[in-house]
Amino acid sequence: MKFNHKILKWSLVALLFALHACDETRLDLQPGGPTEQSFFAEEIEFERTVYGIYAKLTDLYWYNGGQDNCVQPVTLLPGDDVTTGGQDEFEIFSNIQPASFRLAYFYTACYQMIARANVLLEKNAAAAADVYKTPNLKNYHRGEALFLRAYAHYLLWNVFGTSPVVTQRVLNLDQTTPPSSTGTQLLDQAVTDLTEAANLLPATWSAENRGRVTANAANGLLGKTLVFKATVTKNNADYQAALTAFSKIQGASLVAKFDDNFAFDTENNSESLFEFQASQAFGFDNVWLSNDFDNAVGALSVFWGYYSNQFNLFGKAPFIATQKLVDAFERGDPRRNLTLNDSTKAIRKYVTRDKVNQPGASSVNNPRILRLADVLLLRAEALNESGGSKSEAIALLNQVRTRARNMVSGGTVPADFPTSETNQATIRQWIQDERLRELAAEGQRWFDLRRWALGGQIMLSNAFFNSALPNAIQFDPNKHLYFPIPTRETDVNPNIKQNPGY
């Protein structure tokens, strides 16, 4: 009998494979790249993980491959300060649907930021004693992660209201279906995180780390979150806690020029408590590609084309000032001409002193997320609403008005409010009006209107919006104070309840 040489050959190969397969030493091979188990072994790796949390802020500001996908309208348009004169869903309200791509993207970006923060917090707590070499850096990293997680929860409350609170890293399927939150639970968690962060973060960073969150940023956002919470719950203790947090802000001051808060060459100034650090990818900034960690090509920039009316809008209406905003400024108030163009109503913030490397879509001008003027007005509000000193509250308002007035030599407008006023309702109206003038077109107005409405301080209605906007607004106060939870979330999470009316 003759052997089939081909069969013998492949039989031997199979035998060799089997023998080698049983050799356990051959299984002990290092992976081609870093794994989770091997990655968190050096201080620089924790540093890179922190940068990854910050990187998610890009998703809230970049061009996103086309202006119909950019999520800035979610915060810019629902208020009464900015309008398109068109039919954008976030301006007329009736078109807002759970299937909205922009809402889903906003929702996802916030939870991705939370997820990255949760990974850092877990690994930071478990880090071996010899991993961190730089004094206090372990605490700083924890503080940064807590701050950014808190900011994401703060945003989710202001947009959706009832989305889940997530404080642990998802490690099994049971954790993938968290329940809806209720009331102010999202803000409650933000308060918890910011309280701890404020005690961990440094007062300042070195020049090369400028822009990373500080104790001032944490105390500022903590106080703001507490005021937002107290507006709804009417809990005086929250107002008092906000005042305590604000009092811990040290070394910050209003800049002399109002428009230095919106210029690329005066970023991270003494008034800025926290801003997104817009930049260019080191390969080149491609506004059609998302940013993620170490990509050489992608978007790290900000889109201000809504205000500058660049070609990237592809014929869509730019965002302009409402007539209400135009009329809110006294003639002679320097902020008026620095905020808008009287004749065209074009918004001037962020675009008058901008730096755009790729026309219309790739700005490096940092969005100022939290600045001292905002804090001063919130502090005045906390005093007025909690039964504190009315004269002190008015003096804080006057600080903001004085800065504006002093930009003109011999200026008289806006004049100080009389500190002798004691009527709470009158002072409340002064504060609300001043927040409109000072913070217009910065993405703050809708959040203010929403919380004041939830707290019963104002009544939002079709008439309220139609007095400011040219569109046929269809606002339902029983529905639109909470935007819908995205369909892609309710479809996969049975524990999520859709907000009423959607």
The predicted-structure confidence for 109-132, as pLDDT tens digits, reads as follows 999 999 999 999 999 999 999 999
Rounded Cα gap, residues 414 and 401, in angstroms? 6
Q: What confidence tens digit (pLDDT) does each residue in 336-363 have?
A: 999 999 999 999 999 999 988 766 688 9
Q: What is the pLDDT of residue 288?
A: 86
- The pTM for the full model equals 0.92
What is the pLDDT at residue 6? 33
The chain-wide mean pLDDT, for the chain, equals 91
Residue 267 has pLDDT above 50, yes or no: yes
Q: Is the pLDDT of residue 19 over 60?
A: no
Residue-wise pLDDT tens digits, 368-420: 999 999 999 999 999 999 999 999 999 999 999 999 999 999 999 999 999 99
For the chain, give every domain's residue range.
47-317+335-366+442-464+476-490
Instruction: Average the pLDDT over each of 8-17, 38-47, 228-237 and give the range with the smallest value.
Output: 8-17
User: Comparing C-alpha atoms, which of 94, 156, 102 is closest to residue 479?
Assistant: 94
pLDDT category at 292 given cuts 50, 70, 90 is: low
Instruction: Give pLDDT, residue 407.
Output: 96
pLDDT of residue 3: 32
Residues in Cβ contact with 190 at an 8 Å cutoff, skipping those fewer than 6 apart:
150, 151, 153, 154, 157, 221, 225
What does the alpha-carbon distance between residue 329 and residue 341 come to, in Å, rounded to a whole number? 12
CA triple 448-259-246, angle to 5 deg: 45
pLDDT tens per residue, range 238-251: 999 999 999 999 99
User: Which one has a higher pLDDT value, 19 or 261?
Assistant: 261
Question: Residue 153 pLDDT more than 60?
Answer: yes
- The label of the residue with tokens 């007539």 reads 323
- Low-confidence winner among 323-332, 384-393, 470-479 (lowest mean pLDDT): 470-479
Q: Where are the alpha helices (DSSP H) in 22-72?
A: 36-39, 43-55
- Mean pLDDT in residue range 192-207: 98
d(CA 394, CA 420): 9
Dihedral angle of Cα 262, 264, 265, 266, to the nearest 10 degrees:
30
Query: Rounded mean pLDDT of 160-168?
Result: 98
Q: Are 385 and 455 in contact (CB under 8 A)?
A: no
Runs of H (alpha helix) within 101-235:
101-126, 137-159, 185-200, 215-233
Look at residue 17 in the predicted model and tell me its pLDDT: 34
Q: Is-contact 79 481, C-beta < 8 A?
A: no
pLDDT of residue 33: 67
**Beta-strand (E) ranges in 169-298?**
272-275, 284-285, 297-298
Task: Give tens-digit pLDDT for 304-314.
Answer: 999 998 888 88
Torsion of CA 418, 423, 429, 433, to 10 degrees: 10
Minimum mean pLDDT range among 17-26, 244-253, 416-425, 436-445 = 17-26
Q: What is the pLDDT of residues 65-88, one digit of tens each?
A: 888 899 999 999 999 999 998 789
Higher pLDDT residue, 486 or 471? 486
Give the DSSP per-residue string, 424-453.
HHHHHHHHHHHHHHHHTTTT-HHHHHHHHH
Residue of 298 and 420 predicted with greater confidence: 420
Q: How far apart are CA 329 and CA 233, in angstroms?
A: 31
Q: Domain 47-317+335-366+442-464+476-490, CATH 3.30.70.2390 — does that match? A: no
Least confidently predicted of 26-40, 278-292, 341-355: 26-40
Band of pLDDT at residue 291, cut at 50, 70 and 90 = confident
d(CA 184, CA 154): 10
Q: What would the mean pLDDT of 228-257 be, rounded to a whole number? A: 98
Confidence check: pLDDT of 2 > 50:
no
**Residue 171 or residue 499, greater confidence:** 499
